[in-house]
Structure 1
Amino acid sequence: MDLIRNTTKDGRCKYALVERLKDDRLEYGLPGTEDEFFVLKLKDKHAKAALEAYVASVKDEDPEYARQIQELADRAGADSPWCKAPDN
């Protein structure tokens, strides 16, 4: 399975983000740019593991932030009622 971003000519991928704090600026997350991103929905069956790894990475630096990310992890993956395999 390929990431959709790797199969489109313009690299604009499947999703765009709206940066609300910057006058609703639209970001495409183009590969190799400063604004590159990877969207991870909580219903993705691998989201829990990814978010828990993130929590482990930040917990000593910012425990409150880690707690909030853990709350997302607690609703992710198999704990999401919409859990499913990623569709790339």
Structure 2
Amino acid sequence: MKGISNIYDVYDTIENKYLLQGVSAKETEKITGLPRNQVSRYAIDGILYKDRYRIVNKDDQKLMEEWNRVRIIINPKAKR
């Protein structure tokens, strides 16, 4: 949708730290070289770019955190 921009974090799995936080696909492309039209696909599928960088969509991350919170409320015996 025009005008809506996803915000991403880029996690370096080798250095165990965030390379980028709260950036657009364009900024992700500049720093990592991953084409901006592929950034969301890597985030959705959980694919490591160059076997090193994990792309995380901030909106998806918030949704998963909320889901984990609610599922524990619904079923306290659920695994964390």
TM superposition score category, shorter chain reference = under 0.3
Structure with the bigger percentage of helix: 2
TM-score normalised by structure 1 residue count: 0.24
Structure with the bigger percentage of strand: 2
TM-score normalised by structure 2 residue count: 0.26
